[in-house]
Amino acid sequence: MMKTTKSLTSNLDLKKKRELHSIKVKKKHHSTVVIKVNHLEKSFQVSNNKIPILKDISFKVYSKDFLIIFGPSGCGKSTLLNVILGLEEPDSGEVILRDTKTYSLNESERADIRAKRLGVVYQQPTWIRSLSVLDNVAYPLILTGESRRNAINQALRRLEEMGLSKFRNYAPTELSGGQQQKVSLARALVKNPWTLFLDEPTGNLDSKSEEEIIKMLTEINRKGKRTIVMVTHNYSFLLRANRVLHLLDGEVKGIHESIHEIQQFLRNQLMPEV
């Protein structure tokens, strides 16, 4: 009798433990996978040599992640981003955006997904110089077939959210570098993208504008619940992320998935053991 009770309780304990474990796992990766990168390999042909740039890269991006891809200059960050965006075909491996295998699509289908579903901000924004700030922000929507009226309304809303509506009739190049980068954020967000991608977005900015942009990104991620993938070699951003992918010489050196792990990684980066 005792034995049965005991084995019953230990069964219950086991069940509880399993439940707890599954809650923990769910908590850690609270949401669905939005990007899957599987065994990517990419090389560039330089004269007669094939130079490997990305080597067996695999990772996932979860909905509402603020993922930073961190690594030194030349390690392959922008190349990786371009492959994820569908701009550079890999030698092998796959990129899955939601349920779509990017490279099973043709180039124009990939361009269509990029135009409608992915927001991108680069270090140096490019503008249609003949258009105002407002028209530049509205342009991605007009390109995807939205009526001009809707596009302009949504662009204005984005500019207002960022405190930029007073600049709507300026030419983008009349704004400071920091203001231009905020406008390019508004332009990337206007199509309500699945994921916002940024490649070294504050690389050309002074530290005050840099701080403003990174604060905006934190809000866009936390309050706006937008998934963000940002490429940078800047240490000072790491603690804003919930996950950090460390890229070194074209390889994933580690993925740090909690504030504790990121702090530890940052300490090791700043004070490497001798």
CB of 266 to ligand ATP, least distance (A): 18
| Residues whose CB is less than 8 angstroms from the CB of residue 139 and which lie 6 or more positions away in sequence, other chains included | 128, 131, 151, 187
Q: Does 271 bind ligand ATP (CB under 6 A)?
A: no
Exposed/middle/buried for residue 54 (C-beta within 10 Å: 0-12, 13-18, 19+): buried
250 near 52, Cβ under 8 Å? yes
Contact 117, 141 (CB under 8 A): no
Both tokens assigned to 271? 């004070």
Candidates 26-34, 74-82, 152-160, 189-197; binding stretch for ligand ATP (CB under 6 A): 74-82
Distance from C-alpha of 202 to C-alpha of 181, rounded to nearest angstrom = 8
Binder to Mg ion among 43, 63, 78, 100 (CB under 5 A)? Answer: 78
Q: Which stretch binds ligand ATP (CB under 6 A): 22-30, 73-81, 182-190, 261-269?
A: 73-81
Report the b/e string of 228-257 with b at 16+ CB within 10 A.
Answer: bbbbbbeeebbebbbbbbbbeebebeeebb
Tell me the per-residue interface mask from 16 to 45 with ligand ATP, x by CB under 6 A, - otherwise: ----------------------------x-
The site partner of 53 among ligand ATP, Mg ion, none (C-beta below 5 to 8 Å per kind) is ligand ATP
Q: Would you say 78 or 132 has its CB closer to Mg ion?
A: 78
Q: Which is nearer to ligand ATP, 71 or 125 (CB)?
A: 71
Structure-block tokens of residue 175 = 């704004």
Per the DSSP assignment, residues forming a β-bridge with 246 are 70, 254
Residue showing the smallest CB distance to Mg ion in the complex: 78
Q: Are 39 and 268 spatial neighbours (Cβ–Cβ below 8 Å)?
A: no
Binding segment (CB under 5 A) for Mg ion, from list 48-56, 78-86, 247-255, 256-264 = 78-86
Contact between 123 and Mg ion by CB under 5 A: the answer reads no
| Nearer to Mg ion (CB atom), residue 154 or residue 232 | 232
> Is residue 76 close enough to count as binding ligand ATP by CB under 6 A?
yes
Q: Least distance (Å) from ligand ATP to the CB of residue 196?
A: 18
Q: Toward ligand ATP, which CB reaches closer, 135 or 210?
A: 210
Which residue's CB is nearer to Mg ion, number 78 or number 100? 78
Instruction: Return the number of the residue (79 or 136) whose C-beta is nearest ligand ATP.
Output: 79
Q: By CB under 6 A, tell whether 202 contacts ligand ATP.
A: no
Q: Binding to Mg ion by residue 218, rule CB under 5 A?
A: no
Which positions from 221 to 240 touch ligand ATP by CB under 6 A, shown as an x/- string?
------------x-------
d(CA 122, CA 198): 6
| Per-residue 3-state assignment (H helix, E strand, C coil) for 87-114 | CCCCCEEEEEECCEEHHHCCHHHHHHHH
Gap between the terminal Cα atoms of the chain: 61
**Residues at the interface with Mg ion (CB under 5 A):** 78
**Residues at the interface with ligand ATP (CB under 6 A):** 44, 46, 53, 71, 73-79, 233
